[in-house]
Amino acid sequence: MSAVIDSIRNEHRTMARLLDLLEGQIDLFEKTDQPDYDLIREIIDYFLTFPDLYHHPKEDLVFRKLKARDAKSVEPFGELEELHEEVSERLHEFTRAVVNVLMEAEMPRDTFVSLARDFISGERAHMSAEEQHFLPVAANTLTSKDWREIEDVVSKFKDPLGADTMSHRFSLLSEKVTSWRASAAN
- Residue among 27 and 79 whose Cβ is closer to Fe ion: 79
How far is residue 130 from each of residues 10, 46, 96, measured CA to CA in Å?
13, 20, 27
- Residue among 86 and 93 whose Cβ is closer to Fe ion: 86
- Residue among 107 and 139 whose Cβ is closer to Fe ion: 139
Question: Rounded to the nearest whole angstrom, what is the least distance from the CB of residue 4 to Fe ion in the complex?
Answer: 12
- d(C-alpha 76, C-alpha 182), whole Å: 38
- Residue among 42 and 130 whose Cβ is closer to Fe ion: 130
Contact 97, 116 (CB under 8 A): yes
Contact 76, 133 (CB under 8 A): yes
Residue 77's Cβ-count burial label (10 Å; 0-12, 13-18, 19+) is middle
Question: Rounded to the nearest whole angstrom, what is the least distance from the CB of residue 118 to Fe ion in the complex?
Answer: 17
DSSP state of 75: G
- d(C-alpha 57, C-alpha 136), whole Å: 18
Question: Rounded to the nearest whole angstrom, what is the least distance from the CB of residue 63 to Fe ion in the complex?
Answer: 9
Question: Rounded to the nearest whole angstrom, what is the least distance from the CB of residue 129 to Fe ion in the complex?
Answer: 8
Question: Rounded to the nearest whole angstrom, what is the least distance from the CB of residue 25 to Fe ion in the complex?
Answer: 22
Query: Could you list the residues that contact Fe ion (CB under 5 A)?
Result: 59, 130
Contact 161, 37 (CB under 8 A): no
- Residue among 56 and 170 whose Cβ is closer to Fe ion: 56
